[in-house]
Structure 1
Amino acid sequence: MTKFLLAVHVLAAIIAIGPVTVAASMFPAAARRAAGAGDSPAALSTVRVLHRICRVYAELGVVVPVFGFATASVMHVLGSVWLIVSILLTAVAALVLGLLVLPSQHAILAGLTVPDPGTGSAPAAGRAVIARLAMLTGVFNLLWATVTVLMIVRPGSTTGA
């Protein structure tokens, strides 16, 4: 049972979290291009698709901690420091994604699609907002990278690494 749960946990992480990290990382550059492209439907379409990938896969990502808890329970490591730190970092990553990254993406996308009343064209999304999003996305990705390393190295683990 342990191997099955661990396999599902790892596969869920790869399939759900991987696309979010890649799409979220691509979003700021795509938003900059879309802002500079004016009314380019292709540039705006790219930004929309990246935001949708982030939203959908973030929702699917809920299965990662569910199977993680199940795996940890079966392995009897719920009290391990490396796991507790991983759980806390996962929670922080989820909060960064849900409360900061996704809303920022939404606001940037809205800024690219709402016509400016003065000119009738889409206004350029603010560089500062896009730069802040890029930083937040980097923090999100760094949190997930740290969790991944902790899951592999498991410092202090008695189950072997």
Structure 2
Amino acid sequence: MTFRLDRDERDRQRDRERVRQSYAVRRFVDPVLPSSSWRFVAELPDGELVGELRAHERSVHLLSGEGPFCRDRREMVLDGVLVAGPYRLLGIGRRLVEALWAEMERSEIRSVHAIVGFEGRFLVACGFRVEAVQANALRWDGPLSAGRTRRW
């Protein structure tokens, strides 16, 4: 490795290497959230958070209109994978996704879906495949006053 003359750059590289070697990934269980909400964190030994993944279970029977909840029809929806800016491209996001897959396997859940706003290169690199060509962004704004709103 070439020695860098820029002290700030050397310090950034040392900090990234320290994080790469010392972070740990674990599932964080929040007693306030329902058990169907999953959260994984990547943190340093001192508790500093460097990454996070959030997902939730989706009941397929509600989508299809079928009968009561069935364990073999459970699936996950990936809400987001976040990694602190200075620590991107260190494998933290991939380890968070792998932790999700391991927990899904233990829970006998076989499918996870994700909606991405951009190209989704990170998730494709993790093994996800693109199902739809284009997603639609929808928005609803409530009326500003209690008065009657126009429909057109």
Q: Same fold (TM over 0.5)?
A: no
Of structures 1 and 2, the larger Rg is shown by 2
Where relative contact order (Cα < 8 A, 6+ residues apart) is larger, the structure is 1
Instruction: Pick the TM interval, shorter chain.
Output: under 0.3
Larger % of helix: which? 1
More strand per residue: 1 or 2?
A: 2
